């Protein structure tokens, strides 16, 4: 009977966490380049298992991030771009360390640097010289501007990075990720070349959250939570009966 309680309690914990993940996904349905997550349970009942060899119910709950591309949102901003494959580009986070992102909402800061979302510098950095105006990015990731004579000048090009195992990246917030021992090999390339897709100028990638899928998962998680709660209640009642018998 204590096994029933333990198994049911682990199920309650898992589906509570699953509901947290679903709520987080739905809250970010309109966040640019947001990647949805899912709660994955691991563990199978094994009545023959020794007490030290494992427990019944859900053994662990892991959170997997889904890196399928989100739909494009057209902004018509000349410094905005969407990545049309599974690549990233690199920026310098506020702690000075490199980080990967897919959110291509670039802008010009007060010091005339081209910066990513949140004022983070590109890596390598790109800046406008005095007198230059109208910066823009093209399909190949080349950033240009007009000089004082009105001539188009190339300022630099944003390299793209493909990660061997994106799910192994560490999410550090604000759509930023860091390389880990599990993220695999990093391949650098240029948009439109060597197997890298061209960029979408004037647009940004939207969230990949599918509302219908999230609500379906929510219903499943709610029903499973209720079933586990009922199992726990039945186990508690059985334990009370057994306790009373021994008195």
Can the peptide bond before residue 124 be classed as cis, meaning omega within 30 degrees of 0? yes
Instruction: Report d(CA 223, CA 240) in Å as an integer.
Output: 26
9: phi then psi, degrees, rounded to nearest 5: -65, -40
Quote the pTM value: 0.82
Task: Give the dihedral sign, CA 53/20/11/229.
Answer: positive
Predicted confidence pLDDT, tens digits, the chain (247 residues) = 457 787 888 888 889 999 999 999 999 999 999 999 999 887 665 555 545 555 677 766 788 999 998 999 999 999 999 999 999 999 999 999 999 999 999 999 999 999 999 999 999 999 999 999 999 999 999 999 999 899 999 999 999 999 999 999 999 989 999 999 999 999 999 999 989 999 999 999 999 999 999 999 999 999 999 998 988 888 767 777 777 776 6
Would you kindly state where each structural domain of the chain is located, as residue ranges?
A: 2-66+209-245, 72-205
10 Å Cβ neighbour count for 27? 11
What are the structure tokens assigned to 26, written together? 């739905």
Task: Give the dihedral sign, CA 80/81/82/88.
Answer: negative
């Amino acid at each position: 009977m204590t096994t029933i309680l333990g198994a049911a309690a682990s199920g309650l914990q898992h589906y509570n966490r699953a509901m947290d993940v679903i709520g987080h996904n739905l809250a970010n349905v309109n966040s640019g380049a947001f990647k949805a997550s899912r709660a994955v349970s691991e563990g199978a009942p094994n009545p023959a298992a020794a007490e030290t060899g494992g427990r019944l119910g859900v053994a662990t709950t892991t959170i997997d991030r889904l890196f399928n591309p989100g739909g494009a949102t057209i902004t018509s901003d000349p410094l905005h771009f969407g990545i049309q494959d599974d690549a990233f580009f690199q920026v310098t986070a506020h702690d000075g360390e490199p980080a990967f992102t897919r959110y291509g909402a670039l802008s010009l800061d007060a010091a005339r640097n081209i910066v990513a979302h949140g004022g983070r510098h590109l890596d390598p950095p790109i800046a406008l010289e005095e007198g230059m105006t109208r910066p823009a990015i093209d399909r190949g990731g080349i950033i240009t501007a007009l000089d004082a004579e009105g001539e188009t000048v190339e300022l630099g090009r944003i390299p793209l990075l493909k990660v061997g195992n994106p799910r192994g990246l560490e999410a550090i917030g604000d759509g930023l990720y860091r390389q880990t021992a599990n993220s695999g090999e990093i391949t650098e390339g240029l948009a439109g070349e060597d197997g890298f897709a061209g960029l979408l100028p004037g647009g940004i990638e939207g969230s990949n959250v599918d509302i219908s899928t999230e609500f379906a998962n929510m219903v499943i998680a709610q029903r499973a939570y209720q079933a586990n709660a009922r199992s726990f209640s039945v186990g508690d009642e059985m334990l009370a009966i057994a306790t009373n018998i021994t008195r």
